[in-house]
Amino acid sequence: MARSTTPRLLGAAALVLAAALSLTACGSSSGGSGGNSDGSVTVTKESSNSPYQGTLLTNHFDKPDLVMNDTSGQPFDLRKQTAGHPTLLFFGYTSCPDVCPTTMGDIGVAMSKLSPEDQKKIDVVFVSTDPARDTPKVLRTWLDSFGKSVVGLTGDLEKVKAAAKPLGIMVEDPVVNKDGTVTSTHGAQVLAFLPSDDKAHLLYLSNSSVDTYAHDLALLAKGVPA
């Protein structure tokens, strides 16, 4: 019996493999969705130990040393100007109908549920991965839909890439398609930096809910350790 089951099991394994392979073929490009410099991700879920609902990072990234113009045309020093503030950081672009506005919308709605005092404590920073089209004006108009206080940075894409890479966020050159649409490849995760050490402790994937953000932003505003 054992003799006859082994080849069957092997056969099943082969089919599973084939199914997995065709899934990849029918699916999409996978990519570094965040973590290490090699594109792999180091995250762990220790929900029992953390009051936060976001994914806990085991590697507490420093805030990137990024100085770029904000949407008013003034230089914005990310490290200096957000020092000691809970900070959310997201890389995206405005010619993106689904993930970018959805993520920013969730954050905007969650922020609006906080008291005005708590809202002021949290910095939300959006960095454009498509600076050629995201002019300060275009970006400001887009961001205003989510919150007037959201900081928008746009400028040198090389700087953006350099800032994103150590955070495990892949940013590639945008591609202009034949029909004029733009596709930008960028890690869609949001990083949350704690005010205590200005390091990233939490990560939110693009399927995070408004409730998750609302829950965690209330804790972030109070500087609750992750």
Partner 1 sequence: MSRRFRRSALIGSGLATVLVAGTVLVACSPGTSGDSNVAVTGAYIPLPATPGGMAAGYLTVQNIGSGADQLVKVSSPGAKSVTMHRSTDTTMEEVGALPVAAHGKLLLERGGNHLMIMGWTKAPAVGDVLELDLTFARGRTISVQAPVKPLTYRPGS
Considering only 114, 210, 218, 224, the residue that binds partner 1 (CB under 8 A) is 210
**Cα distance from N-terminal residue to C-terminal residue, the chain:** 54
Q: Is 138 in the site for partner 1 (CB under 8 A)?
A: yes
Mask for 158-177, x = binds partner 1 (CB under 8 A): ------------x------x
Segment lying near partner 1 (by CB under 8 A), choices 49-57, 94-102, 153-161, 190-198: 94-102
Strands (E), the chain: 43-44, 55-57, 67-69, 75-77, 87-92, 123-128, 151-153, 175-176, 182-183, 190-193, 200-204
| Cβ atoms of residues 91 and 179 within 8 Å | no
Beta carbon of residue 86, minimum distance to partner 1 (angstroms, whole number): 21
d(CA 27, CA 35): 22
Q: Tokens 């065709």, residue? A: 22
CB closer to partner 1, 150 vs 221: 150
- Contacts with partner 1, residue ranges (CB under 8 A): 1, 4-5, 8-9, 11-12, 15-16, 18-19, 22-23, 26-33, 94-99, 101-102, 104-106, 108-109, 138, 141-142, 145-146, 170, 177, 179, 181, 183-188, 205-207, 210
